[in-house]
Amino acid sequence: MLAVSVPKAVGERARLLITRFGALDKYHRIIAREDEIEIPILRELADHEIILIKEMGGTIRQLSEEIDRDTFYDPMKDILANLDMPDDHIGKIPQRWEFMGNVLVIKLDDSIVKYGKHIAQVYARILNVKTVLWDTGGITGEFREPVHEILFGQDTVTTHLENGIRYNFDAARLMFSSGNVDERIRMASMCEDDETVVDMFAGIGYFTLPMAFHTSPSRVLAYEKNPLSFEYLVKNVELNGVGDVVEPYLSDCQLAEEGIADRVVMGYVGTTHEFLTKAMRILKPEGGIIHYHETCPNALADKRPRARVMEAASAEGRMVKNIQQRLIKSYSPGVGHLVLDIEI
């Protein structure tokens, strides 16, 4: 039987990650050894999953012993044991959370807001993070900024490791969507050698960094309009050693250089379609690929994104050769976050 073996310190994070893969074997016990824990898994892991496990210092191995599980380590048990709250409220405590490096983000049911600080203190200790943020209002505005309040700790600047990339940012002021992990990993294998790439909405480097780090483009021009995101983008370019390839621009992407790109990344949601004309113009005259993101009601997913692309292309005298569409994640009830790979 297969297991993921990881250092004890990252055991809980590894368990959550494997659960998110849908690969956790709940029928066998997690085995704690001296320095490591072995987490049983149901299947062989995919390549991109293995990359994430290796980043935690983990390996995949045959289980040396198999113990049927009557109990398994569940941090909720320790959390519950340490919370001092009335029984009628305890059922409302967060069962899910997001790690952004060593910062934790939780949501709170209205009925338990008054226990927020106590809850955060316990979660911080059991889940081993320095700061706990309360997601009070999701992600808003042109700059896609989170609305978070600090419940525990002070330092909200964190470094999140994913797919070999270090993303340094202020988790209280800038977003990092865990739901986009597959897309960030996919973009890490997209570029052909020596391509010129334009990332129109670079943020802290969500797509720019994996492309520059894992593939061999000759240039990645990264446009970002928010000065704070830009500051971290510049830092992250340095941190990941891709300064020879990435050119960060603190600018509206509507001002981006035209006629230069083999590939254009449009990793933005909400009003992205308003930038399609510009994306077509950024491509070289002979064409290239556009990765166009759109949040779209499920009922319109078959038609609206394609129709918008076709309209912009035809207005620019561009020929669309091929479109591949995929769902990145559910964005909100009844609305999907889609990406279209458009060959022009």
Ligand X SMILES: C[S@@+](CC[C@H](N)C(=O)[O-])C[C@H]1O[C@@H](n2cnc3c(N)ncnc32)[C@H](O)[C@@H]1O
**Number of helices and strands in the chain (H, E):** 10, 17
Under rule CB under 6 A, residue 208 binds ligand X: no
Give 142 or 247: the residue with its C-beta nearer to ligand X: 142
The residue range among 108-116, 136-144, 187-195, 303-311 that interacts with ligand X, by the rule CB under 6 A, is 136-144
Under rule CB under 6 A, residue 143 binds ligand X: yes
In angstroms, the CA 49 to CA 95 distance is 23
- Residue corresponding to tokens 């001092």: 84
Binding mask 174-203 for ligand X (x = CB under 6 A): -x-x--x--------------------x-x
In angstroms, the CA 23 to CA 263 distance is 34
Give 85 or 239: the residue with its C-beta nearer to ligand X: 239
Give 31 or 328: the residue with its C-beta nearer to ligand X: 328
Under rule CB under 6 A, residue 302 binds ligand X: no
Tell me the C-alpha to C-alpha distance, in Å, between residue 226 and each of 20, 74, 137, 215. Answer: 31, 40, 19, 26
Binding mask 94-133 for ligand X (x = CB under 6 A): ----------------------------------------
Tell me the C-alpha to C-alpha distance, in Å, between residue 309 and each of 216, 272, 316, 323. Answer: 28, 11, 11, 9
Helices (H), 91-193: 116-127, 181-187
Give just the sign of the alpha carbon dihedral 161, 167, 171, 175: negative
3-state helix, strand, coil in the chain (%, to 5): 35, 30, 35
The residue range among 5-13, 46-54, 173-181, 213-221 that interacts with ligand X, by the rule CB under 6 A, is 173-181
- Smallest gap from residue 312 Cβ to ligand X (A): 16
- Smallest gap from residue 7 Cβ to ligand X (A): 28
CB atoms within 10 A of CB 198: 30
Residue from 4, 211, 253, 266 in contact with ligand X (CB under 6 A): 253
Under rule CB under 6 A, residue 274 binds ligand X: no
The residue range among 17-25, 61-69, 96-104, 138-146 that interacts with ligand X, by the rule CB under 6 A, is 138-146
Query: Over the range 84-116, which residues count as b (16 or more CB within 10 Å of their CB) and which as e?
Result: ebeeeeeebbbeebbbbbbbbbbebeeebeebb
Q: CB–CB of 41/62 below 8 Å?
A: no
Give 136 or 254: the residue with its C-beta nearer to ligand X: 254
Under rule CB under 6 A, residue 336 binds ligand X: no
Summarize as ranges the residues that interact with ligand X (CB under 6 A): 142-144, 175, 177, 180, 201, 203, 206, 223-226, 229, 252-254, 267-268
